[in-house]
Structure 1
């Protein structure tokens, strides 16, 4: 531990102060990330046992001395990484993002810098992240690690932020820089250990120390998070690894993609996000019901139609869709989630070509739907429209031909200076998930 912290200290002294310049490998990874479009988010930890979401320690104000009992009976003997990865792959997902450490501070891998981990503190005695990493590699699925900035368990996470109050039983003192070096030491384990190439790190919790959470334009915090020090460390260990941060403000120097929580880019219906959309690759995350971690009483499941439409709307806004499930404490994913993802997979198998590898199309989001594009092909995704005719604004290039995607049904095209009129064989069905018109442009 001491040697690792010394190395981290030396690295921080030599970290570049100038603006971040991504490597060629990193830029290639960004493009591939945008091409992937669809990922599986997994919130899973010792909190799953209480069936009340991943915030249960804070929401129920469980002191550390009591919460530390949870790992002693966390034994997910039915965890099957092959089943998890196969489920994601069959749904059309190209990557997985899993919680390595959530706000409760518990490590879901065999951390050498803290015994508060799944191998040393549970009867399970297995490194779940290593098992998942091996299976992702075997099935060709990329792996990201969600990693919490804030920590309700570590004594040096001080001053405390908006969460994890005095009820935790932590001392009224601490060295925040010591905590940050602890965090960097754990990240070093994940990025230089036995987990192989990691697609990226998905940070969360910066907002815990924000001075004004209501003003989404503020970037001021009560502590110095030393973001560039951590970001430079990650890029030094794995230059292609992408860094995103769910901080709810505009991206900081050193970040590789911008994320939006439970909203499409530019929207802020939940009050979490900035309206500022950067030029970085984009991602929006949402959960299959109303909770992130396993919640026994949450049965507000989104339908396959809702999930597909969210994927399409995200792609039309040039963003990926990261869809969350919260596995049960025994390691199984509940059947409602499995069944919904299987239905989504039927759509991606037939129509995935209209989202994978695309970028936001020449027509911005409209009440009727969105467009995506790949080269000379433009896909008009009609989600809410009940007329056989649809008028698009003038396009950058002329349309050579049009058809209903996946069929030989031609769509009549009339182009004028005022726009492009599409006349379909029939009006979109009222219960259609997505009527797609493929345009071949010059």
Structure 2
């Protein structure tokens, strides 16, 4: 379908008409199918989200008062005018930023990709863009291309680099800046929004792909604004594919997301996968690709006083829970204004990495459990194998596995390098019992492998 959206723009004393031509879907000959583009992502299962920008400077406080809510929304929550927020750039000097260290932290945790905020809702850009001086190279004393340094390190260390990019922009006059003091007012419309999309938003996306790619994902957000339409979502989706044919685009490029549940209302809306936020679906979603994004504490962007950290145990079990339902886990860190990933985040990622060193086979490339709900934990699967993630180790050494009709050829502990056989007995046609050691290999999540006949 081709549609033309005409927007009246005021330039000086005269009106101009900017046409947004919604791109046709490329022919099947020129378009990689979704399975060809998303295969690596389905294998990865675990990635790092990074929210970083000027909001790390106030760190949750404004004019001596703590501002409720998530840190990266302080401009909106504290009703800060653009003229007062902009000077934060002069204080943004993250001299302790070390791209090699950041990527190494992610890699050691077992993460396969990094998604960083190239531009969040506040409009500040973490790269040297020609479309504005409101960026790290021109507006700050730091004057280093953060995205460029990360791109180099990701390539060196074999991590896929991806960019979060906000459609909404509280700084740009053609977007939501005029809505102050309610930047997030979804009832308002900007008559110049078409110009912002065609010349600014698309221009910056082209820079990001061409200067720092190839990228893994273009991770959009801020699509709930009034001016963003379903047609614009499809246009942007195909625009990204025109820049890089194998790129993945999340469903927030369209405007059909159902709140924090993160799934699109239907396939009438653009996007390759759903994005539940701060929650995990209750069950698997057959035929649906999805990725839960989640914070380690209560904020995405750094807040100095937010110490409500999820435990190592909780995060490890969430990773298994998400994989058992066929999803990916995008776990967030919010670096400080100095450029450091907070210590509690580093500690938790290191602990996850220790577990992944022994058990990553039970996460990477796995599919949703065929067993349904199990009483002792979760289950992930690969062809011919089931991985039993045992949270509650049986005191009597008898691990009962309901719902399994396949013949078990071998059972062993994934952490056991010798792969010593465990005794398996069949209780009835769809339940077996595995005799396990008295002591759990891991107090949080021990993995028992069942090799089964297909």
Bin for the TM-score computed over the shorter chain? 0.7 to 0.9
Determine if contact 2:424/2:435 at 8 Å carries over to the other structure: no
Q: Which residue of 1 aligns with 2:436?
A: 425
* Residue aligning to 1:102: 120
Distance in 1 between residues matched to 2:23 and 2:386, nearest whole Å? 44
Q: Which residue of structure 2 lines up, in the alignment, with residue 112 of structure 1?
A: 130
Alpha-carbon deviations, 1:131-153, whole Å to 9, x = none? Answer: 11111011110011001121111
- Pair 1:245-2:251 in alignment: yes
Q: Tell me if structure 1 keeps the 8 A contact 2:263–2:275.
A: no
In the alignment, is residue 406 of structure 1 matched against residue 439 of structure 2?
no
Matched, 1:391 2:408: no
Secondary structure at 2:329's aligned position in 1? strand
Q: 1:223 deviation in Å?
A: 5.1
- The question of whether the paired residues in 2 share the 8 Å contact of 1:389 and 1:423 is answered with yes
Mapping of residues 14-413 of structure 1, within 5 Å: 15-17=23-25, 23-24=31-32, 27-52=35-60, 53-157=71-175, 165=182, 174-181=191-198, 182-192=200-210, 194-209=211-226, 226-246=232-252, 247=257, 248-250=262-264, 252=267, 253-266=269-282, 277=285, 279-384=287-392, 386-387=394-395, 388-395=397-404, 397-407=406-416, 408-413=419-424
- Equivalent residues of 2:176, 2:183 under 8 A apart: no
Q: How far 1:364 sits from its partner (Å)?
A: 2.4
Deviation at 1:334, TM superposition (A): 1.8
Aligned 8 A contact 1:393 1:418 in 2: no
SS in 2 for 1:55: helix
Please identify, of 253-262 and 21-30, the stretch whose mean Cα deviation from structure 2 is larger: 21-30
Give the superposed CA RMSD.
3.0
8 Å contact from structure 1 (residues 30, 281) kept in 2: no
CA distance in 2, matches of 1:197, 1:258: 22
CA distance in 2, matches of 1:311, 1:15: 38
Aligned partners of 1:386 and 1:430 also within 8 Å = no
Tell me the TM-score normalised to structure 1 length: 0.85
- 8 Å Cα contact 1:158/1:175 also seen in 2: no
CA-to-partner distance for each residue in 1:270-308, whole Å, 9 max, x for gaps? xxxxxx947242211111222111110011122222111
Cα shift at 1:243: 0.4
* Structure 1 residues 172 and 15: CA distance shift in structure 2, 3 A: closer
TM-score, length basis structure 2: 0.82
Distance in 2 (CA, whole Å) between partners of 1:346 and 1:166 is 43
Task: Check 1:257–1:124 CA distance in 2 against 1; reply closer, same or farther (3 A cut).
Answer: same
Unaligned runs of 5+ in 1: 1-8, 210-220, 268-275
SS in 2 for 1:261: coil
Q: Say which SS state the counterpart of residue 207 (structure 1) adopts.
A: coil
Tell me the number of residue pairs that the alignment of Structure 1 and Structure 2 aligns: 411
Give the Cα–Cα distance (whole angstroms) in 2 for the partners of residues 278 and 120 of structure 1: 47
1:63–1:167 Cα contact (<8 Å) kept: no
In structure 2, what is the Cα distance between the partners aligned to 1:22 and 1:58?
A: 42
Matched residues in 2 for 1:14 and 1:222: separation? 13
